[in-house]
Structure 1
């Protein structure tokens, strides 16, 4: 699968190392596994060995994707199988890796991984395909005349590819969704200026009524020490205050309702 390319490349590069120019190696000079021939093909046509030694990570990824991953249909193969084929292609060429994969799944070995090959691969358990491909790959390497020189390293490499490919095959094809909690700041409600002004006006009116009742209460306390005529006069004052309260009751209720409505807007 295409999402496995970065991981597959990182695994391959662990085995490739850095600069290698061993006359006994049929691949010739390589830097991070990239041959001078492929570097010239995909990056710089007139490159020298000195240019190859300065290859960038982006250039490395370009060569591996175009010459190995895309050439073996890595994006369409099941997880694990993609890496096993990719690793084989890097060591022995994409054409040979494709033919060996086709041999494992029992179809015509034309060296091109197309719809028929992909369907045949998906019809088999990924672990079975990986094991068979790695076994056949190791058998091919053992038949090479340079096995005595490089056999130990090749054997360890195939063993590592098999183990990592089987791990990849056990992962779900679709990664679990990622849930991200986003906190949205909420501003404290601000009372509009016009509403605040009206609240003050209504509050002033209510304060006036409260002060009026307070004055009446003081007056009653003063009248308590007077004769019955004075007490009668005080009663009249109290009655007047109660009448004022009843008259303005509807206005008070209306004012409170109006304030609530304006705040809610």
Structure 2
């Protein structure tokens, strides 16, 4: 990461214009944040634990649905993901603590959704849940497509949360404030819903899951 990108990331976090230049407005925003005068939307450490709790509640325990291409799952963790993360025991016996660690690392920190959550908690939560259900890359692409729709062709739709995407979220927040968070979440929900319909159209067996997807995944953030 370049120095300019680092400055833009800091500016996005404190609500300053993310232009990469440390001017009077940036200094004032940093001072306001340090003095507790800036409005805070940042997620607390306990918030991600609550998100994990909510996902586990929705996913339930051991499942091996014949129409699910992912095969066995437990706590919502597929057998492939469990194996890739070092668990080689029976999926029925996957420890809850292991599942929680996988969620925290693989679906929150690694894809950079924690950094988006620091700017807009509900957007971070939406990305986390969508990443679990559809893949982290797809979730990030939804965000990038939405940002480009609102801001112009700002970021590459590459499915990676890098400095440019983070800066774009900061710019959107600067322009739209707290109200913008709900609008951005709504845009992500719309893209997710269209994807569900396409999945059923492309594979009719997914009809076994689509009602539950809409009932339990849309509008959860």
TM-score (norm 2): 0.67
Displacement of 1:10 in angstroms is: 1.1
19, 30, 39: which is aligned to 2:73?
30
Distance 2:219 2:186 in 1: 12
How many aligned positions are there?
158
Displacement of 1:2 in angstroms is: 5.7
Residue of structure 1 in register with 2:190 after alignment: 135
93, 96, 112: which is aligned to 1:73?
112
Q: Is the 8 A contact 1:72 1:85 kept in 2?
A: no
1:205-252 Cα distance to aligned partner (Å, 9 max, x none): xxxxxxxxxxxxxxxxxxxxxxxxxxxxxxxxxxxxxxxxxxxxxxxx
Counting only pairs closer than 5 Å after superposition, residues 1-265 of structure 1 correspond to structure 2 as 1=43, 3=45, 4-44=47-87, 47-48=88-89, 50=90, 52-77=91-116, 78-106=120-148, 107-124=155-172, 125-144=180-199, 145=203, 146-161=205-220, 165=221
Distance 1:95 1:28 in 2: 21
TM-score (norm 1): 0.57
Distance 2:79 2:64 in 1: 10
- What stretches of structure 1 move > 6 A for 4+ residues in a row? none
What's the Cα RMSD here? 1.5
Residue of structure 2 in register with 1:189 after alignment: none
Q: Is the 8 A contact 1:121 1:129 kept in 2?
A: no
Distance 1:2 1:115 in 2: 22
Distance 1:36 1:87 in 2: 18
Runs (5+) with no aligned partner, structure 2: 1-42, 149-154, 173-179
Runs (5+) with no aligned partner, structure 1: 166-265
Distance 1:74 1:121 in 2: 12
Distance 1:147 1:22 in 2: 11
Distance 1:20 1:116 in 2: 39
Distance 2:139 2:99 in 1: 20
Distance 1:134 1:71 in 2: 22
Displacement of 1:88 in angstroms is: 0.3
Q: Is the 8 A contact 1:138 1:155 kept in 2?
A: yes
Q: Is the 8 A contact 1:104 1:133 kept in 2?
A: yes
Q: Greater Rg, structure 1 or structure 2?
A: 1
Distance 2:109 2:196 in 1: 23
